[in-house]
Amino acid sequence: MFKEVCALFCVFYRDNRVLTFVYLTFLISAVFIIAPSIDLAVSRLFYVPGEGFPLARVALLQDLRNAGSYVSVAVGIVLGVVLLLKLLNPMRPSLFAPRFSLYFVMLYLLGPALLVNGVLKNFWGRPRPKNVDEFGGQLPFVDAWSFGEHIFSHRSFVSGEAATIACLIPLALYLPRPWRRQVLVLLGLVAAAVSMNRVAAGAHFLSDITISTALVLTLAVGLRRAFYVAYAETFSNERLESELTRIGLAWRAQRTAFARALFTLPAGALRGAVRGLGIATDWLGTQSVPVGALSSTLGTIASFAWLGPFLNGIATSLSSAISGTMVRLLSQDTPTRS
């Protein structure tokens, strides 16, 4: 019977992968809503009366948390920078396939950034395990998907770190087929270890990490279907490369036009800027601003060749004006010696 159920599930998964993950997310949520004691039972395994959650103070587990966070966030940042470099250098080919980069950037933005940290963690005020009265805290336990009485004050539901590390799991699908299953299992184990580490530290309940992971994986499957099946032509590497080149060239033209406008400012605008600096000089004269620091800063800026004569004059004028004002202020504040 078990084999038949597994076979039926595999057939349904191949034909309806997105719906499969949606149903799994609902199923996981229903389990924790119907039996909230599961969360308390799992967290109680790591709780020591009088000590709280001692594993939170283990250096090795802290390093595991930091490594998982840094690596997962770094992947998203690197891929975002790759797209930015393409826009800044539109005539050069992308460092990575643009569809690959855009897929993961969208996954990070829509999953951990928007859905988890932007929506769920901001509107579901669930206390963390270390803050509930069952584990020495002062707040009542709140079930999964419940708002609780302290909205906007606590950030247990759902786990942001579990969501971020789960974004690495789809990387296995971009490897050669013979390696996909092994790497998928490896990434899954790493994600599970990093996520369970938060449970052991009393920072999240089991439902926080499982629902968070399920939501991100559902989003990952949906995005993959959109990028590689439903809108495969729209998101093809060739078309994305062409669009990024077009946008990059347009952006370069705007930057060039802006730079030219700065070099061709009318004399009236410069006079207005000088008048503004005069007002700033009068204000600075009433403040305790070190003259040397101000002069040094403007002198450094003046190292730019095309601004040199202009800013050097400003630096000299400001220094003289402020020096004179500060001398007058000091002469008024310093008692006369007989």
Position 255 scores a pLDDT of 85
Position 152 scores a pLDDT of 55
Dump pLDDT digits (tens) for 91-124.
Answer: 999 999 999 999 999 999 999 999 999 898 888 8
Position 276 scores a pLDDT of 62
Neighbours of 274 (CB within 10 A): 13
CA atoms of 43 and 269, how far apart (whole Å): 66
Position 321 scores a pLDDT of 45
CA atoms of 155 and 177, how far apart (whole Å): 39
Does residue 115 contact residue 160 with C-beta atoms inside 8 Å? Answer: no
Dump pLDDT digits (tens) for 159-216.
Answer: 999 999 999 999 999 999 999 999 999 999 999 999 999 999 999 999 999 999 999 9
Rank 2-6, 34-38, 251-255, 326-330 by mean pLDDT and report only the highest.
Answer: 34-38
Position 298 scores a pLDDT of 46
Dump pLDDT digits (tens) for 1-59.
Answer: 555 445 544 544 555 788 999 999 999 999 999 999 999 999 999 999 988 999 999 99
In this structure, of 60-69, 236-245, 266-275, the range with the lowest mean pLDDT score is: 266-275
CA atoms of 318 and 47, how far apart (whole Å): 64
SS3 262: helix
Distance of CA 283 to the CA centre of its chain: 39
pLDDT at residue 316 above 90?
no
Average pLDDT, the chain: 81
Distance of CA 140 to the CA centre of its chain: 30
Position 50 scores a pLDDT of 87
In this structure, of 46-60, 61-75, 313-327, the range with the lowest mean pLDDT score is: 313-327
- Supply 117's token pair: 């940290």
Residue for token pair 């992971």: 213
Neighbours of 126 (CB within 10 A): 31
Position 199 scores a pLDDT of 95
Neighbours of 286 (CB within 10 A): 11
pLDDT at residue 243 above 80?
yes
68 contact partners, CB below 8 Å, separation of at least 6:
161, 165, 190, 193, 194, 197
Mean pLDDT across 126-130:
91
Closest residue by Cα to residue 121 from 151, 146, 144, 155: 155
CA dihedral 114, 117, 118, 119 (to 10 degrees): 100
Distance of CA 321 to the CA centre of its chain: 46
Cis, peptide link before residue 229, omega less than 30° from 0:
no
Secondary structure (DSSP) of 26-64? HHHHHHHHH-THHHHHHHHTT-BTTTB-GGGG-HHHHHH
Residues in the chain: 338
CA atoms of 162 and 266, how far apart (whole Å): 55
Task: Tell me the whole-structure pTM to 2 decimals.
Answer: 0.74
Position 204 scores a pLDDT of 94
Secondary structure (DSSP) of 93-121? PPSS-HHHHHHHHHHHIIIIIIIIIIIIH
Cα angle 34, 38, 40; round to 5 = 120
CA atoms of 36 and 196, how far apart (whole Å): 18
Phi, psi dihedral angles at 111 (to 5 degrees) = -85, -90
SS3 139: strand
Does residue 301 contact residue 307 with C-beta atoms inside 8 Å? Answer: yes
Position 281 scores a pLDDT of 55
Quick one: pLDDT band at residue 308, thresholds 50, 70, 90? very low
Position 260 scores a pLDDT of 81
Radius of gyration of the chain (CA): 30
**Helix, strand, coil content of the chain in percent (nearest 5):** 75, 0, 25
The sign of the torsion formed by the CA atoms of 8, 9, 12, 14 equals negative
Position 307 scores a pLDDT of 44
pLDDT at residue 282 above 80?
no
Position 156 scores a pLDDT of 87
